[in-house]
């Protein structure tokens, strides 16, 4: 029954969700009026839709790292987004997929792991969970993980990109992490009292807008010209990035919850020292979660 690039569907009275077996990638969220909310990919602008970032978020310094003195190479956001996930279970409102270490992964990532991705649909909300398991009984597991969903903007063709705004709730001061040459400048974080902004292409000319998080945050895409909204809850993420293409004009904005972050400019390339890295002792598990509500 299964084949390469199998597509699975979750559906209720409010939403229809589609997920690919490749990368366990979210490919579509359509509301009851059949309005698509997920960017539908364009090779000339951004060829992804909602990739899962594992076992790194962002870039490694010079695309390599060391474990136990051995060098490994890995490019932007890791390899999980291009791997075939195995189906664990599929129901009308819940889907679970799994990726396990394999011969290919061992060449670039010397750890034994399981990554389980669970999608749950309830009324107008899609919740997403990532469970990372260290299945080695001797060796610690180091990893980062994140999500990168692109949401269609504008929602309706009669509107423009800059008719929409991004708002944060609760409203509070948050630390912003500057990005320098696509690396995280953690030494120069600064307070931003209000993170709300109107969408514009120029907003992303210096890369993603990255904030540290210390609690669950609702990030809303909305416009005064339409009642429809996307409300993204960051769950237990440690960071969130907001990104779109520049100067290419992609009609989307990504809201990216991260449990990890790009390397810093002064990284020593030792994986255990990586900024934002997570550690699991043998046979331990880690759970990340976030959700999307479509109004």
User: In sequence order, which residues have a C-beta less than 8 Å from that of residue 166 and are 6 or more positions away?
Assistant: 195, 196, 197, 198, 199, 219, 220, 221, 242, 253
Report the C-alpha gap between 32 and 229 in whole angstroms.
Answer: 14
Are the beta carbons of 259 and 265 closer than 8 angstroms? no
Report the C-alpha gap between 72 and 262 in whole angstroms.
Answer: 16
Report the C-alpha gap between 142 and 114 in whole angstroms.
Answer: 13
Mean pLDDT to the nearest integer, 73-86: 97
Are the beta carbons of 113 and 83 closer than 8 angstroms? no
Report the CATH fold assignment for 7-294.
Beta-galactosidase; Chain A, domain 5 (2.70.98)
SS3 call for 80: helix
Structure tokens at 179: 């990005």
Q: How far is the CA of 249 from the CAs of 47, 200, 229, 230, in angstroms? A: 13, 10, 21, 20
Q: How far is the CA of 27 from the CAs of 8, 48, 102, 158, 285, in angstroms? A: 10, 9, 25, 24, 27
The DSSP 8-state label assigned to residue 215 in this structure reads S
The yes-or-no verdict on residue 2 having pLDDT over 90 is: no
Report the C-alpha gap between 148 and 145 in whole angstroms.
Answer: 10
Each residue's pLDDT tens digit, 243-280: 999 999 999 999 999 999 999 999 999 999 999 999 99
Each residue's pLDDT tens digit, 98-151: 999 999 999 999 999 999 999 999 999 999 999 999 999 999 999 999 999 999
Are the beta carbons of 163 and 154 closer than 8 angstroms? yes
Are the beta carbons of 262 and 207 closer than 8 angstroms? no
Report the C-alpha gap between 253 and 46 in whole angstroms.
Answer: 11
Instruction: Please tell me the pTM assigned to this model.
Output: 0.95
pLDDT above 70: percentage of residues in the chain: 99
Report the C-alpha gap between 126 and 184 in whole angstroms.
Answer: 30
């Amino acid at each position: 029954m299964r084949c390469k690039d199998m597509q699975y569907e979750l559906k209720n009275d409010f939403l229809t969700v589609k997920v690919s077996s490749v990368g366990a990638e979210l490919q579509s969220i359509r509301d009851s009026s059949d309005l698509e909310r997920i960017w539908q990919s364009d090779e000339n602008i951004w060829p992804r839709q909602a990739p899962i970032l594992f076992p790194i978020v962002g870039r490694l310094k010079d695309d390599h790292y060391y474990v136990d003195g051995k060098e490994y190479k890995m490019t932007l956001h890791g390899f999980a987004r291009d791997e075939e996930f195995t189906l664990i279970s599929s129901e009308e409102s819940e889907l679970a997929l799994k990726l396990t270490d394999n011969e290919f992964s061992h060449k670039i990532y010397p750890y034994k792991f399981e990554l389980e991705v669970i999608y749950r649909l309830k009324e107008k909300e899609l919740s997403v969970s990532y469970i990372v398991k260290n299945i080695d009984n001797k060796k610690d597991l180091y990893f980062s993980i994140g999500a990168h969903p692109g949401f269609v903007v504008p929602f309706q063709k009669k509107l423009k990109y800059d008719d929409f705004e991004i708002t944060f709730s609760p409203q509070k001061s948050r630390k912003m992490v500057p990005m320098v040459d696509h690396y995280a400048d953690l030494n120069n974080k600064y307070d931003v009292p209000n993170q709300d902004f109107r969408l514009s292409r120029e907003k992303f000319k210096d890369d993603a807008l990255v904030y540290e998080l210390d609690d669950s945050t609702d990030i809303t895409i909305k416009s005064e010209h339409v009642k429809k909204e996307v409300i993204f809850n960051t769950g237990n993420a440690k960071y969130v990035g907001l990104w779109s293409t520049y100067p290419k004009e992609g009609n989307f904005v990504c809201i990216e919850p991260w449990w990890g972050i790009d390397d810093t400019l002064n990284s020593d390339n030792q994986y255990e020292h990586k900024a934002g890295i997570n550690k699991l002792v043998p046979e331990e598990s880690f759970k990340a979660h976030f959700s999307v509500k479509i109004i």
